[in-house]
Structure 1
Amino acid sequence: MARAWTLTSRPTGMPTHDNFALVDADLPTLDDGMIRVRNHWLSVDPYMRGRMNDVKSYVPPFAIGEPMQGGAVGEVVESRADGFAVGDRVVHMAGWRDEAVIPAAGAQKIPHGDIPMQRYLGHLGMPGMTAWFGLLAVAEAKAGDTVFVSAAAGAVGSAVVQIAKAKGMTVIGSAGGADKVALVESLGADAAIDYKAGGSLAKALGAAAPKGIDVYFDNVGGAHLDAALACARDRARFAICGMIEGYNSAEPAQLRYLMRIISARIQLRGFIVSDFQSRVGEFYSEMGALVAAGKIRSEETIKEGLETTPEAFLGLFSGGNVGKMLVRV
C-alpha cells in the first residue's frame, strides 16, 4: 500500500514533527487519462511553510489529514494516458508520498540520458527556473551589473550565482558559516559574506561592493533586505523571491533603510515562478545548454527514505542544506 505524509495540525512558529503523520494511502482507480507513478525523489522547499497556514495565498493551504504536495520525480508504473508508457520518467507535484495516481496532464516527461532525474527538482526544475527568470526577467540583470544574492548556498541562490557569472556579472553571495561561504566562492562568486560572523551585514556588503549593487536577489528578507537597501545604487532592481527569515516568526521585519527606496528610486518586484510558465521552453533550452556545457554545478543534500521527509523540510530553516534539499524514496 502507498504511504503519504499528512499535516495533522497547523504549526505556530517553527513546525515540529508532531505536525506531521505518515499514513497508509488508498490510491484512486486508474481512469482514462491517468497514470500511476512510483516516486524516486521528493523535493522540500521553503514555500511549503506558507501552505501550512490556513490563509489566502497564491496556492491553497494544505488540507489537514490529506496527503501533502510538492515536487517529485518518478517512474510511470501503470498508464491509461496517451503519450505516457510504463518506464517513462516524469516530474509532477504529488510529492510527500511514495506512489501517486495523477492526471497525465499534471505530469511532464523528462528525458532518459546522462542527467540524473533529481536535477529536474533542482537546477533544471523549479529552483533553477526561479533563479533564471527572477534574475534575468524580474530584476533585468545584465552583463556588468553587480548582483547580491542571499542564501547563496541554497537551491535557488546557488543557481543565481552561477547564472549571473555565466552572463558576465559581478556576484556577491551571502551564506551562513565558513563551509557555505567557501562553497559560494567555489561556484564563482567574486565575494562571499558569512552572515553568521556577526557585525553589521550592511557594512559587510558595503565593503564587498564599495560602488554599490545594481541587483538584489532576495531569498531571505529581514536584515539581508535591509543591507541591500543600504547599498543599492540608484535605480537598483530587487527580485523578491522569498523571505525565509520571517516564515516562522510573528515579529514584524525591521527595515532601517526602507526610505532609500524613494531616494535611490529602487524597484522592488515580487514574483512567483509560475508567472513564467509560458516560457518554460526558453528555460530548458538555455539553462540546459549551460548545464551541458558544465557551467552550472549542482549541489545536493540528500535524506534517505520517505520517513525522513519532515526532517528534510525542517532542515531548510536551520541551515541544514547545501544546495537542493532532496529525499530519496
Structure 2
Amino acid sequence: MTVRFSAVHQVAEPEGMPAAEHFAFVTGELPAPTAGTALVENLYLSVDPYMRECMNGVWALDSPLEGRSIGRVIASEDPRLAVGDLVFHRQGWRTHALVTGEEARVLPRHDGVPPSAYLSILGGTGLSAYVALTRIARLEPGDSLYISAAAGGVGTAAGQLARILGAGRLIGSAGSAAKVRHLVEDLGFDAAFDYHDGPVTELLAKAAPDGVDVCLENVGGEHLEAAIDAVRSHGRIVWCGAVSTYNDPGRPPAAPRNLYDVVGKSIRLEGFLVRNYPHLQEEMEERLVPHIRSGALVPDETVADGFGRVVEAFLGMLRGENTGKMIVRLADA
C-alpha cells in the first residue's frame, strides 16, 4: 500500500516579506508503514510567525518543512498508534506523513472541544499564553495587563486566559479597527487601540493612564519601548515574540530609548521559548478544557480550507490578515 501525497517545499530564501515564488508544491508517494511507524492523513495544519525566521538559514531548501499538525492514523505498525487515532505531530506542510510513536501524541477527545483547538488555544499559541501568564508574569487577581499584537493567536489566548485568572484592566493593541472591535466586543478587553493611529507609547498611555502591572510583548521595537514606559514600578514584562523584526532580521530596530527605565522602575523583563515548557501541556489542558466546554474560553481561529491554500494562509498570517490563530483545514476530523 502506497499513498500519494502533496507537500510544500521552500525553494528560495526571501529578503523581506516572503512571496508565493519562495515555495513550490510537490507530489510523491509514501510507502506502507513498517514496524514502529504509522501513516497519518493530516487534517489541520498550523502556520506560525516563527516559521518566517526559519526561512533564512534554518529550513533546508527543496526539502519537507516542519510545522505543527493534527492528523488521523490510517495505517499503523506501531502499537502505540491505532488506526483512527487523532494525533499531534510536527510533519506539517503536507497531506500525509509517516510518524513514530515518539514523534506523535495521541490526542484526548473531549465533548465540546474541536480538534483544531490543539493547534490554537490548546496548542503552541495557547501554551505560550499559559506559560507567559502563569509562570513568567505570575499574574495575580486584579493585575492590569497590556498585550501587544493582541488579536493574534497568542494574544487572543492570553486575553481570555487573563480573564479566567482574574486580571483587572485588560488592554490590547492590534493592526486594524476591525481587530480592535473584536478585542473589545468579542473577547472582553477593556480597551484596545490600532497601533497605526499614532506613536504606540502615546496610544498606550491614553488607554492606561495609570500604567499597568504586566505587559505581554509580542512585537518588539516601538511596542517594547511603550511597554517599558507603561509598566509600573516593580512590574513585569514578558517578552514572547518580535514579529516586527521577522521580515528583516539583518536590520533589527534600535534598542528602546527608555531601556534604562527597567532599572529605574525595578521592572522584571524576562523572555522565554515555549519549546522549553512541554511539561506544562497536560497541566494547561486540565485547567483549560473545562472552560472551553463551558464556553468561557473560545478557540479564536481563522481557517483556510484546502491544502492548496497553505502558502496563502502563511503569507496572509504574516500580513496580519488573521484574527486569532491561523489554521489550514484539509478535512474535518
* Category of TM-score, reference length = shorter chain: over 0.9
- Distance in 1 separating the partners of 2:233 and 2:31: 56
Report the Cα distance in structure 2 between the residues aligned to 1:88 and 1:47, rounded to whole angstroms: 28
Q: Tell me if the contact between 1:15 and 1:314 (Cα under 8 Å) persists in the aligned partners.
A: yes
| 2:308 partner SS | helix
Instruction: Could you tell me which runs of 5 or more consecutive residues in structure 2 were left unpaired when the two chains were aligned.
Output: none
Tell me the distance in 1 between the aligned counterparts of 2:253 and 2:212: 22
After TM superposition, list the pairs within 5 Å mapping 1:199-238 onto structure 2. 199-238=198-237
| Correspondence 1:184-203 to 2 at 5 A | 184-185=183-184, 186-196=186-196, 198-203=197-202
Alignment correspondent of 2:123: 125
Aligned-partner Cα distance in 2 for 1:189–1:51: 33
For residue 159 of structure 1, what is the aligned residue in structure 2? 157
Distance 2:26 2:286 in 1: 40
SS in 2 for 1:238: strand
1:21 is aligned, of 24, 27, 38, to: 24
SS class of match (1:70): coil
Compute the displacement of 1:28 (Å): 5.0
> In structure 2, which of residues 90, 95, 104 is the aligned counterpart of residue 93 of structure 1?
90
Where do 5+ consecutive residues of structure 1 fail to align?
Answer: 55-60
Q: Are 2:99 and 1:108 aligned?
A: no
Contact 1:165 1:189 in 2 (8 A): no
In 1, the alpha carbon distance for the partners of 2:31 and 2:48 equals: 27
Residue 26 (structure 1) shift: 3.4
User: Which amino acid letter does the alignment assign opposite residue 139 of structure 1?
Assistant: A
Q: CA deviation at 1:225?
A: 0.9
**Contact 2:306–2:329 at 8 Å: present in 1 too?**
yes
Secondary structure of the corresponding residue to residue 213 of structure 2? strand
C-alpha distance in structure 2 between counterparts of 1:178 and 1:193, whole Å? 8
CA distance in 1, matches of 2:116, 2:198: 38
Structure 2 partner of 1:253: 253
Per-residue Cα deviation, 1:183-237 (whole angstroms, up to 9, x for no partner): 11121111111112x2221112112212211111111111111111111111221
Fraction of identical pairs, as percent: 39
Note the alpha carbon deviations across 1:156-198, whole angstroms, 9 max, x for none. Answer: 10010011111111211111111101111121111111112x2
Letter in 2 for 1:317: L
| 1:57 alignment counterpart | none
Alignment pair present for 1:63 and 2:68 = no
Task: Report the 3-state secondary structure (helix = DSSP H, G, I; strand = E; otherwise coil) of the residue aligned with 1:258.
Answer: coil
Q: Whole-Å Cα distance in 1 between the matches of residues 280 and 198 of structure 2? A: 41
Amino acid at match of 2:51: M
The AA in structure 1 aligned to 2:223 is: H
Is the aligned partner of 1:34 residue 2:37?
yes
1:171 partnered with 2:170 = yes
Q: Write out aligned runs for 1:250-329 (5 A).
A: 250-254=250-254, 255-329=256-330
Cα deviation, residue 31, structure 1: 2.2
CA contact (8 A) 1:150 1:174 kept: yes
What displacement does 1:291 show?
Answer: 1.3
In structure 1, what is the Cα distance between the partners aligned to 2:268 and 2:69? Answer: 34
C-alpha separation between the residues in 1 aligned to 2:29 and 2:214?
48
Could you tell which deviates more after superposition, 31-40 or 246-255? 246-255
- Give 1:305's aligned amino acid: G
Report whether the alignment pairs 1:11 with 2:14: yes
Residues 60-119 of structure 1: per-residue CA shift (max 9 Å, x gap)? x21111111101111100111113211111111111000000112111111334322111
Alignment correspondent of 2:143: 145
Offset at residue 29 of structure 1 (A): 5.2
Q: How many residues are aligned here?
A: 322
Secondary structure in 1 matching 2:263: helix
> Moved runs in structure 1, 4+ residues, more than 6 A?
none
Number of the residue aligned with 1:134 = 132
What amino acid is aligned across from residue 96 of structure 2 in structure 1?
A: E
Query: Could you tell me whether the CA contact under 8 Å between 2:211 and 2:230 is conserved in 1?
Result: yes
- Is the contact made by 2:76 and 2:82 (CA closer than 8 Å) also made in structure 1? yes
TM-score, scaled relative to structure 2: 0.93
SS of 1:268's partner is strand
Distance in 1, matches of 2:39 and 2:235, equals 47
Q: Which residue of 2 aligns with 1:242?
A: 241
Cα distance in structure 2, aligned partners of 1:13 and 1:28 = 38
Between 61-70 and 254-263, the greater mean CA deviation after superposition: 254-263
Contact 1:163–1:296 (Cα < 8 Å) also in 2: yes
Deviations, residues 239-293 of structure 1 (Å, cap 9, x unaligned): 1111101100243313222221111122221111122111222111001122122
Aligned-CA RMSD value: 1.3
Larger mean Cα displacement after TM superposition, 313-322 or 107-116: 107-116
